[in-house]
Amino acid sequence: MTNQPPIGANDYQAFFEASTVAAVVRINGSSLYNVDDVEINLNAHGATSDAAVVLPIKTNPDFSQVFANLGSTAATAEIFLGWPANPTPGAPPSIAGLTRAYYGLIAQYDADFELNEATFELRSLASPLVDEKIQMIATNATTIDFLQSVCEQFGLNMQAGTPNAPLTVQEVLGEMYVGGYDFAAAIHGMRIWDLILQCAQFDNVDVWEDQGTIYYVAPTLIQRPTVPIMYGRDLALGSGLKCQHALQFSRDIQVEVRSAQPRVSQSSATRYVTNDDGSVSVTTVNSQTSGSPQWGTPDIVTQRISPSGTVVTQRSVSGGNFSTTTSLGTEAPKLRYIYFLKNASPATCNAFAISQWRKISQHEYIALMQFPMSKAKGIIPLTALLPLSNCPYAQFNQTYYPRKLTLAGGKGKAFIYSVDGINHELPQGAV
């Protein structure tokens, strides 16, 4: 790729603005503190976003005492960035003129007394949904009812917008082949966010968390701000733009094809009976049993054919197991595309997966962009569209959807955006 064009006057202005950004953190909704360094990492669909802030130790209170009496109450932190109208060196921290860039839970803090630094690690307010497993659920409720109950339980807001009437949780679980004696038992070990992602897929909506609100909105209804990016003008020097296009199979794409076929089993039994006269009678009994999944339900219809030709049909429910293990949940490290085929053989599923993998790879363009935070761009949300122009390779001049968005900077360092974008809407579960 050719070298980046020379920096111009507008670029110097942008870097100057990025170097004068003020950063303030508000802890537990009240106390304000000036921040030395900030790093915000936003992932598509938002449940695994995180951030970190560094505060000086000597000029701030003893945080071990601040958090000593929290009990089971979660500690929160809000990061504000921007340009104060009248910046005054040494003034008390203020959020006047700043914009909230991140709102999350404080996972832990590390104190380095030699460096005079206290580092706070933050997680998304929706991160408990990734970690927690479902305990009980009303399967006759709609997907939106389910999400609303989850948001109320974890103190989150919700905004929904579906193109059609939402499905019921039972319909979603039935399509996923999840069953059990009852649905509550079958999904006991399932993580809340996994089910939310599956509900989003069947409702044809996107789902993400931003600033304490869960958005469950159809792609056509999402309001996306546009932030134009021009190569040679907006992008940072040195490593401002890197592009990628896979001609065959992209390593960042994962295609899953799920299906089921009737289960057929044969049984044969030989019986030996000793008669009264001492002779032995031998009887052979053969039977065939087949089971077919019922789409949209957790049920399986079993059909048994006896040796005499009698057919016995019975509806049963597939089994589910309880799980009480706990671990930190994560979203998929790749772009996951999940397809459901009815009554397809393993060979058919594999051929379909290979075909879709190649097709998606050939039409997917990836752009890794770095550019300074400026007053004109401000705080860029995950829902933004980034139309790229002036790239030396013409096919990369497309509109990109952020897959990952990082904003980092601090005292003596310019605040720089790093965006991993692709040229189409992301599938559910992508990070």
Determine contact, residues 109/123, Cβ cutoff 8 Å: no
User: Strands, E, within 219-353: which ranges?
Assistant: 229-230, 241-245, 253-258, 263-274, 280-293, 299-305, 311-317, 335-340
Indicate the Cα dihedral angle 182, 186, 189, 192, nearest 10°. -80
pLDDT for position 255: 78
Q: How confident is the model at residue 180, as a pLDDT?
A: 41
Apex 378 CA angle, 419 and 37, nearest 5: 70
Give the residue among 39, 398, 13, 2 at the shortest CA–CA distance from 234: 13
- Looking at residue 202, its pLDDT comes to 83
Q: Where do runs of H (alpha helix) occur along 51-94?
A: 63-66
**Full pLDDT tens readout for the chain, 431 residues:** 344 444 444 567 777 888 889 999 999 888 899 999 999 999 876 678 899 999 999 889 898 888 887 776 788 999 999 998 887 777 788 899 899 999 999 999 999 999 999 999 999 999 888 888 887 777 788 999 999 999 998 999 999 988 888 888 888 776 555 444 455 555 667 788 888 888 888 888 888 888 889 989 887 788 889 999 988 888 755 568 998 887 777 767 777 777 766 556 666 666 666 777 777 777 666 666 665 555 444 455 565 666 566 666 665 554 444 344 444 444 555 667 777 777 777 788 888 888 777 777 778 888 999 999 989 889 999 889 999 999 999 999 999 999 889 999 998 889 999 999 988 877 654 43
Q: Give residue-wise pLDDT tens across range 57-69.
A: 988 989 888 888 7
Predicted local distance difference test score (pLDDT) of residue 99: 93
- Helix (H) / strand (E) element for 193: namely helix 192-203
Q: Tokens standing for 209?
A: 């968390």
Dihedral pair phi/psi, residue 137, rounded to 5°:
-155, 145
Q: For position 9, what pLDDT does the model report?
A: 42
Inter-residue contact 206 to 218 (CB < 8 Å): yes
pTM value? Answer: 0.74
For residue 145, CA distances in Å to 152, 237, 288, 418 come to 11, 48, 43, 36
Query: d(Cα 93, Cα 399) in Å, to the nearest integer?
Result: 38
